[in-house]
Amino acid sequence: MRTTLRRSTLDHLWPWLCAASLALSLLLLIMLVGLLATRGLGHFWPAPLQEVTLRSGETLAGQPIRETALPAQQGQERLYFTGNQDSDGQRWRWVAVDDIVSTRTPDDVIRLERTPWGDFIGRLVAFESANGHLEGEAAWKELQAQLALPPSARSLATLTLETASGASLMQPLSGVLHAQAPNALSLWEKLNAWQNGLWRFLSEGPRAANTGGGVWPAIFGTVLMVILMSVIVTPFGVLAAIYLNEIAHQGRLTRLVRIGVRNLAGVPSIVYGVFGLGVFVYGIGGSLDEWFFSDTLPSPTFGTGGLLWASLTLALLTLPVVIVATEEGLARIPDAQREGAMALGATRLEMLTRIVLPMATPAMLTGVILAVARAAGEVAPLMLVGVAKLAPQVPLDGDFPYLHLERKFMHLGYHLFDTAFHGEDVQAAIPLIYATAALLVAIVLVLNITAIFLRHHLRRQRGGEC
Amino acid sequence: MSAFRRFASPLDLRRFKDRLATGLITAGGITVLVAILAIGIFLVGETLPLLRLPETLALAKLSPLLFGTFKAALAALLFAVPVALGAAIYSALFMSPRLRSRIKPTMEMMEAVPGVVIGFIAGLVLAPWVERHLLSTLMVIVWLPVSAALIGVLWYRLGHRLRRRLSLASAGLWLVPWLGLMMALALWLAPSLEQLWFGNDLPLWLERHWGLDYTTRNTLIVGIAMGFAVIPSLYSLADDALADVPAALLEGAQALGASRWQSLWRVALPCAGPGLFAALMIGIGRAVGETMIVLMTSANMALVSANPFEGLRSVAAAIAIELPEAAPGSLTYHVLILAALVLFLFTFIVNTLAELVRQRLRRRYRLLGGK
């Protein structure tokens, strides 16, 4: 009696554990997406700057980042981003919270983005140009007016800046990219600044060892590579699927081939990378170099990783995805449709192009979108066949032949990996890495949602027939 | 007669076109198949030079990598298998079908999150946090299942009306905030317990008492991150296998007096067993081949140790790091290609096994009168 009772209690608890494991997966997903969205998008919100006076009498200004506990219960310490690497020699400052005497958020503390030395945080004292010497509010107005102009139209001017600790420095206007007084902004202005920041992230190139600027070349490289890849993978994938489903004799061999293709989707991407490096880069690329570019050897042209080889490798990697999706679409079309077309006198080609392929188009599209989503997020094979940390030239430009297939290119996923693990100042780059990760996830998820809706739509359209 | 001649040439043209197109499609299809075959041929061809060398060299280089791969995959599966199986059992058999049709695509979304993003979050955000809050992490891992059982017990004490509103069929959703709350509770309690038991620094305590080293990026982190990546594919396949169990079998078992859980345990699980096995195989394949996550969360030290708080180096990560630097034709190059061949063969065999098992399962369901 007692064992039955105990067993039935357990029987009642198991479903709850199962439900909890589903809830846990959802919770983890929500946490991941939430973290990326808040940290990635939050980075562009103008952060308030604090001016802090320490017990030692020292004053510093900076953006508070986070707090951690000091060892042995000595309270908390807070990390400030203080900028001013040229005058202080460092950009970060840990301050024990107990040491802080007073904290203020004055409106006149500004943050400048500059090219050689990174951010400046402090006060603007004077704006000196050929037109005269401006101070205080007038100087700040003039600086903003100048920064609104395109860089070539700005006047030659020098800013006199003062850090919170009282050191003064001269900054030529040509090195200033952006200025902001975050404490003085109203909510509306902050929203505007957030939009601008987001836009600059999407449209500018990286600066200062990837700790500043944007990811435009990486977006461009990713998109270009994915387009090239889909141009290669779509015809071949569709041809192979039609061959397997419509033309090949449906025997044991075809079944084996089908299983083989399906399994290739499970082969690790790095293996494709190895294949791409060995065959495309060293094999075909090396031979091309010997035949056509022998005058530039030993520096390789096609014999090193590049856009073409990366696209080809990823096309091979995503081929199974397209084949499987297209084949599923083809298999769903009832044989009666084919037989009807044949009975009315159509040849096989006519039956395929007029009846079967139009019906299978959404399935093909689904396959291509899934392939693109997979390729956009894949990094490992690209490490072998052709991404660069910082590609000086975009592979598409005005010089003949316009599209430079041999060039290295930047990729969002690799940019993320490289900044996170090989950067000089990872601490400073983390907000940008979050933003890049959020962008990458957004792209991949949007593509996947499109594919899911397409498939859903397709199934509903066909009703119970398929 | 003349009419026939007039039609004869277009018909010929159509036939010619048809033949041409068939030829082209066949050529295209066979090209693709050959290209796919070429992967295997290339890998085998490039490893052949190793045969001329003493074999122990390649083995000595590969064995810590294979060990690392195995350890990482094991850690990931220890986390992923219970969670994914539980989720699949729940969503296939207990959840309302309407909700299930929403949840499944969501889990497919989870599969699409790029490895490099998971690796970044785990390696750069989670790993330093876990190092500082090791006990909290371990407590969360223990506390979450307990809190799930707790809600099960509490639920039977609830009033009738509340019970209807918080039904088991939608528990997958409303347990999310509950688990979040429990997680927060564990995190809130952990620091005081750590002070009480381990003198405020668990890693130090571990090293002093058990001689365990602690590295920031370790197997625990790899397991959590890669487990997260493996859960969706495991879940999706297991859910399919369980949902396709013919309803007549389950209804029959319940009609004979079995409880819902008994009919699941005695009928559905044995029936869907091969499908679950296939899911497990695919999960192993993914865990073994995943590159970026291991690369970013494992410290990449080629160690052979069972300590879960030490780093590791997997085959895939080693290829990604070392191959770009290896000169083509050198020994390292060939050894790394051998490593790639091992990965290729392993995943290929595992996946083929899974596919064959699944096909057999489908036949069985058809015989049993399912879909």
Predicted confidence (pLDDT) per residue in A99-153, tens digit:
888 888 888 888 888 877 778 888 887 787 777 777 777 777 778 777 777 777 7
Contacts of B26 in chain A (CB under 8 A): 243, 247
Q: Which helix (DSSP H) or strand (DSSP E) does residue A95 occupy?
A: strand A92-96
Which residues, at least 6 apart from A34, have a Cβ–Cβ distance to it below 8 Å? none
Q: Which residue has the tokens 């203020």?
A: A104
Task: Please give the pLDDT value at position A466.
Answer: 41
**Minimum CA–CA partner of A453 in chain B:** B105
- Strand-pairing partners, residue B312, are B299
Task: Please give the pLDDT value at position A2.
Answer: 47
Which string of b and e fits B297-306 if b means at least 16 CB within 10 Å? bbbbebbebe
Euclidean distance between CA atoms A368 and B49, whole angstroms: 39
A437 and B120 within 8 Å at the Cβ level: the answer is: yes
Q: DSSP 3-state assignment of A80?
A: strand
Euclidean distance between CA atoms A142 and A157, whole angstroms: 11
Q: Where are the alpha helices (DSSP H) in chain B?
A: 2-47, 55-93, 97-112, 115-120, 127-132, 134-157, 160-165, 171-198, 202-210, 219-243, 247-255, 260-263, 269-289, 292-297, 315-322, 331-367
Q: What ipTM is given for this predicted complex?
A: 0.86
Instruction: Report the gap between the CA of B321 and the closest CA in chain A (Å).
Output: 8
pLDDT band at residue A34, thresholds of 50, 70 and 90?
Answer: very high
B355 and A259 within 8 Å at the Cβ level: the answer is: yes
Query: Is the pLDDT assigned to residue A20 strictly greater than 70?
Result: yes
Q: Identify which of B96, B276, B347 has the alpha carbon closest to the alpha carbon of residue A320.
A: B347
Q: Which residue has the tokens 């603007």?
A: A124
Task: Please give the pLDDT value at position B1.
Answer: 46
B83 and A36 within 8 Å at the Cβ level: the answer is: no
Across the A:B interface, residue pairs with CB atoms under 8 Å apart total 312
Q: Identify which of A266, A107, A21, A250 has the alpha carbon closest to the alpha carbon of residue B343.
A: A266
Residue to test with chain B: of A8, A12, A25, most B Cβ within 10 A:
A25
Whether the Cβ atoms of residue A430 and residue A214 lie closer than 8 Å to each other: no
Per DSSP, the residues of A159-170 read EEEE-TTS-EEE
**Minimum CA–CA partner of A448 in chain B:** B109
Instruction: Report the gap between the CA of B305 and the closest CA in chain A (Å).
Output: 25
Crossing angle (nearest 10°) for helices A252-264 and B331-367: 120
Task: Please give the pLDDT value at position A465.
Answer: 45
Query: Is the pLDDT assigned to residue A313 strictly greater than 70?
Result: yes
What CATH code would you report for B58-137+200-367? 1.10.3720.10
Average pLDDT of the segment spanning A395-399:
65
A282 and B328 within 8 Å at the Cβ level: the answer is: yes
Beta strands A212-213 and A206-207: pairing type?
antiparallel
Chain B contacts in chain A segment 10-39 (CB below 8 A): 11-30, 32, 35-36
Contacts of B95 in chain A (CB under 8 A): 22
Euclidean distance between CA atoms B170 and B95, whole angstroms: 6
CB atoms within 10 A of CB A380: 30
A269 and B289 within 8 Å at the Cβ level: the answer is: yes
Burial bucket for residue A12 (CB in 10 Å: 0-12, 13-18, 19+): middle
Euclidean distance between CA atoms B185 and B174, whole angstroms: 17
Q: Is A380 on the interface with B (CB under 8 A)?
A: yes
Q: Is B79 on the interface with A (CB under 8 A)?
A: no
Residue A66 DSSP symbol: E
Q: Is A290 on the interface with B (CB under 8 A)?
A: no
**Minimum CA–CA partner of A264 in chain B:** B348
Residues of chain B under the 50 pLDDT cut: 1-4, 6, 371
CA A80 vs. chain centroid, Å, equals 27
Euclidean distance between CA atoms A370 and A127, whole angstroms: 54
A15 and B94 within 8 Å at the Cβ level: the answer is: yes
Tokens, residue A161: 């800046």
Residue to test with chain B: of A6, A263, A352, A421, most B Cβ within 10 A:
A263
Q: Where are the alpha helices (DSSP H) in A116-215?
A: 136-148, 187-203
Which of residues A292 and A357 earns the better pLDDT score?
Answer: A357
Range from A239-243, A428-432, B6-10, B40-44 carrying the lowest mean pLDDT:
B6-10
Computed over every residue of chain A, the mean pLDDT equals 81
Task: Please give the pLDDT value at position A8.
Answer: 65
| Predicted TM-score of the model (pTM) | 0.86
Average pLDDT of the segment spanning A363-389:
83
Q: Domains in chain A, start-ordered, CATH in brackets?
A: 41-203 (no CATH), 216-465 (1.10.3720.10)
B152 and A378 within 8 Å at the Cβ level: the answer is: no
Euclidean distance between CA atoms A152 and B34, whole angstroms: 56
Contacts of B89 in chain A (CB under 8 A): 18
B120 and A270 within 8 Å at the Cβ level: the answer is: no
Whether the Cβ atoms of residue B182 and residue A26 lie closer than 8 Å to each other: no
CB atoms within 10 A of CB A265: 17
Euclidean distance between CA atoms A417 and A435, whole angstroms: 13
Euclidean distance between CA atoms B296 and B312, whole angstroms: 11
Q: Is A446 on the interface with B (CB under 8 A)?
A: no
Euclidean distance between CA atoms B121 and A386, whole angstroms: 25
Contacts of B148 in chain A (CB under 8 A): 16-17, 19-21
Phi/psi of residue A126, nearest 5 degrees: -150, 155
Q: Which residue has the tokens 């005269």?
A: A132
Which string of b and e fits A104-141 if b means at least 16 CB within 10 Å? eeeeebbbbbbeebbbbbbbbebbbbeeeebeeeebbe
Which string of b and e fits A402-414 if b means at least 16 CB within 10 Å? eebebbbbbbbbb
3-state SS of B242-304? Answer: HHCCCHHHHHHHHHCCCCHHHHHHHHHHHHHHHHHHHHHHHHHHHHHHCCHHHHHHCECCCCC
* Amino acid sitting at position B5: R
Euclidean distance between CA atoms B105 and B123, whole angstroms: 27
What are the CA-CA distances from residue A273 to residues A315, A405, A459 (Å)? Answer: 11, 18, 35
Chain A contacts in chain B segment 106-165 (CB below 8 A): 106-110, 112-121, 123-125, 132, 144-145, 147-149, 151-153, 155-156
Task: Please give the pLDDT value at position A397.
Answer: 65
Q: Which residue has the tokens 């030239």?
A: A393
**Cα B266–B269–B275 angle (5° rounding)?**
155
Whether the Cβ atoms of residue A429 and residue A207 lie closer than 8 Å to each other: no
For B295, how many CA atoms within 13 A lie in the half-sphere containing its CB?
25
Residue A300 DSSP symbol: -
* Amino acid sitting at position B8: A
Q: Domain boundaries in chain B? A: 1-52, 58-137+200-367
Query: How many residues in chain B?
Result: 371
Predicted confidence (pLDDT) per residue in A156-167, tens digit:
777 788 887 777
Task: Please give the pLDDT value at position A72.
Answer: 65
Q: Is A319 on the interface with B (CB under 8 A)?
A: yes
Average pLDDT of the segment spanning A63-79:
77
Contacts of A272 in chain B (CB under 8 A): 39
Contacts of B355 in chain A (CB under 8 A): 259, 262-263
Instruction: Report the gap between the CA of A31 and the closest CA in chain B (Å).
Output: 10
